[in-house]
Amino acid sequence: MTYQELYQSGELLQRIREAFRRLKACDLCPHDCGVNRIRGERGICNAGLLPRIAAASVHTGEEPPISGSKGSGTIFLSGCSLSCRFCQNFPISQLGNGQDLSTRVLAEKMLRLQSQQVHNINFVTPTHYLPQLLAALWLAIPLGFKLPLVWNSSGYEKRDALQLLDGVVNIYLPDMKYADDEVAQQLSRAPGYRDINRTAVAEMLRQVGHLQLDDHGLATKGVIIRHLVLPGELSGTRETLGWIASNLGRQTHISLMRQYFPAHRAPDTPGISRKITNGEYDRAEGWLEEFGLENGWVQD
Ligand code: SF4
């Protein structure tokens, strides 16, 4: 099924209705806040009814199959269901920077990016705006929207919410941040992160499978897992990579990120107040090799 087929059959509209129903006692993400976002109440993510957008622009810094030669049409959503102490985008994710837009204006932004020849539309931190993004897509399709959709998320998501995206999202780009719930709670206030995240990523893989590229090396479908190496192995890199190899398959594409620096509240947080060392990153690369995970990207 493609999103065009879901649109034609009326299934997309049904899913939009179901997704908006969930906003009445919001249970879109694992926090299950239960607030009525239709009436303007806000939960942990601080998202209201209208989608708040921090930027919609052409981005060339994603993984090569996402950015390609012409860039990814990146739409940064404001707010987040995680509260990472080290978030490099905290003005957007935690301070709420951005502008509230109607879904129609959001659809227009998607179409404008398409007219700039980007390879895809890349929703960044989209989990808490799932209904609004589906609605924007529904408005954009009859106006000629046809690009692949990228769901670029924290991976702290519920399976039943992700199922509303089955056939809609072409490429999933989730984080796998932690292998230890206590660390996830301390650093990101994300209870039960490990199993919730693993269940979410497995659902993503069920929907779209492993990464597929076209003749130009551009992603058409599939999953790329991002893993940011934290100081002192707080990211549980070895355990996470081992889990991926055993449960998702060694052909899984992994983007092993080394750009950690102590942003936001990290300078005052024991354990994460420094960059990672070359040795820590080299060790993480060694674990990729140990588990036979050959697909993906490492950073110099
Ligand atoms: S999406 Fe926001 S309001 Fe809804 S459950 Fe998650 S954190 Fe709470």
Q: Is the pTM of this model over 0.75?
A: yes
* Whether the CB of 211 sits within 6 Å of ligand 1: no
Burial of 202 (0-12, 13-18, 19+ CB in 10 A): middle
Closest atom, ligand 1, to C-alpha of 47: 2
* Whether the CB of 101 sits within 6 Å of ligand 1: no
Helix (H) or strand (E) holding 140: helix 130-140
Say whether 71 sits in a helix, a strand or coil: coil
* Whether the CB of 43 sits within 6 Å of ligand 1: yes
Closest atom, ligand 1, to C-alpha of 23: 4
Q: Residues with Cβ < 8 Å from 47, sequence gap 6 or more?
A: 37, 78, 79, 128, 129
Can you give the pLDDT at residue 200? Answer: 98
Helix (H) or strand (E) holding 18: helix 11-22
DSSP designation for 219: E
pLDDT tens-place values along the chain, 300 residues long: 899 999 999 999 999 999 999 999 999 999 999 999 999 999 999 999 999 999 999 999 999 999 999 999 999 999 999 999 999 999 999 999 999 999 999 999 999 999 999 999 999 999 999 999 999 999 999 999 999 999 999 999 999 999 999 999 999 999 999 999 999 999 999 999 999 999 999 999 999 999 999 999 999 999 999 999 999 999 999 999 999 999 999 999 999 999 999 999 999 999 999 999 999 999 999 999 999 999 999 998
Can you give the pLDDT at residue 300? Answer: 83
* Whether the CB of 34 sits within 6 Å of ligand 1: no
What Cα–Cα distance (Å) separates residue 96 from each residue in 52, 89, 151, 186? 8, 10, 20, 22
Domains in the chain, number: 1
* Whether the CB of 158 sits within 6 Å of ligand 1: no
d(CA 164, CA 228): 27
Where are any strands of DSSP class E within 66-192?
A: 72-77, 99-100, 121-124, 149-152, 171-172
Contact yes or no for 105/157 (Cβ under 8 A): no
Can you give the pLDDT at residue 167? Answer: 98
The preferred substitution site among 128, 156, 157 for testing ligand 1, maximizing ligand atoms within 8 Å of CB, is 128
d(CA 19, CA 210): 27
Closest atom, ligand 1, to C-alpha of 32: 5
251-274 pLDDT, tens digit per residue, is 999 999 999 999 999 999 999 999
* Whether the CB of 85 sits within 6 Å of ligand 1: no
Which CATH number belongs to the domain containing residue 112 in this structure?
Answer: 3.20.20.70
Structural domain of residue 224, as residue ranges?
3-297
Percent of the chain with pLDDT over 70: 100
